[in-house]
Amino acid sequence: MPNSRYKQWRQAALLVCIPTFLAAGPIVGYLIGDFFDRWLGTAPWLMVLFTVLGGVSGVRQTLELIARAKAENEEK
């Protein structure tokens, strides 16, 4: 079966995305918040807000990815 042949590679690829999600969320949040802070003159409040929201988003995406990888691993 071709599906089971690549199952381990698919699992590895899904789990390698975890550091990307955890890093990209806060980085993008920081950049968006910094842009709006400079534009509106509200430094550093929007930067902090968007960085936290980006971190929360990264953790949420990571948990969903782990749940998906676990569900795929349990399929037989």
Q: What are the residue ranges spanned by the domains of the chain?
A: 2-74
Q: 27 and 54 in contact (C-beta within 8 Å)?
A: yes
CA torsion, points 3, 60, 34, 17, in degrees to nearest 10?
A: -30
| pLDDT given at position 5 | 72
| pLDDT given at position 50 | 98
pLDDT tens digits for the chain (76 residues)? Answer: 456 778 788 888 888 889 999 999 999 999 999 999 999 999 999 999 999 999 999 999 999 998 988 887 777 5
The model carries a pTM of: 0.81
| pLDDT given at position 59 | 96
| pLDDT given at position 76 | 56
| pLDDT given at position 69 | 83
Structure tokens at 31: 């950049």
The letter for the amino acid at 52 is: V
CA torsion, points 33, 34, 35, 40, in degrees to nearest 10?
A: 80
3-class DSSP state for residue 76?
Answer: coil
